[in-house]
Amino acid sequence: MQVRYQKVIAILLATLMVFNLSFQPQAIAADTANGAKIFNVHCAGCHINGSNIVRRGKNLKLKALKKYGMDSVNAIAAIVTNGKNNMSAYKERLTAEEIQDVSTYVLEQAEQGWR
């Protein structure tokens, strides 16, 4: 019986390698309601309704996010965490979970046209 499981696991691993897939456990689902609260406190001053009062073209609309390669939760989380140019870093102010929540919220809003 154990040999059978080893073969199944070997086949699954080989399949993942052939198709260049990886198995990564998913993080706990982001809390977008919390993300909205965080956004309103920390981000809305510069990014009201997905705009950008500092640099108009660097807004949070889906078209701009795609243009600048920021159209994923991970990319948004990286810039929220580390900042860039005029964008402040929030790694000292927000927890990793809060950054995930707000990043997920931003992408969700961008995909919905910031309604």
- Does residue 98 form part of some domain? yes
- Does residue 102 form part of some domain? yes
pLDDT tens per residue, range 94-108? 999 999 999 999 999
Dihedral pair phi/psi, residue 102, rounded to 5°: -70, -35
- Does residue 5 form part of some domain? no
- Does residue 20 form part of some domain? no
- Does residue 11 form part of some domain? no
Distance CA 88, CA 81 (A): 9
Q: Count how many domains the chain has.
A: 1
- The answer to whether 71 touches 62, Cβ cutoff 8 Å, is yes
- Does residue 19 form part of some domain? no
- Does residue 54 form part of some domain? yes
Q: What angle do CA 5, 25, 10 make, to 5 degrees?
A: 25
Q: What is the domain range of residue 82?
A: 32-111
- Does residue 66 form part of some domain? yes
For residue 92, pLDDT over 60 is answered with yes
CATH code of 97's domain: 1.10.760.10
pLDDT tens per residue, range 25-67? 444 568 999 999 999 999 999 999 999 999 988 999 999 999 9
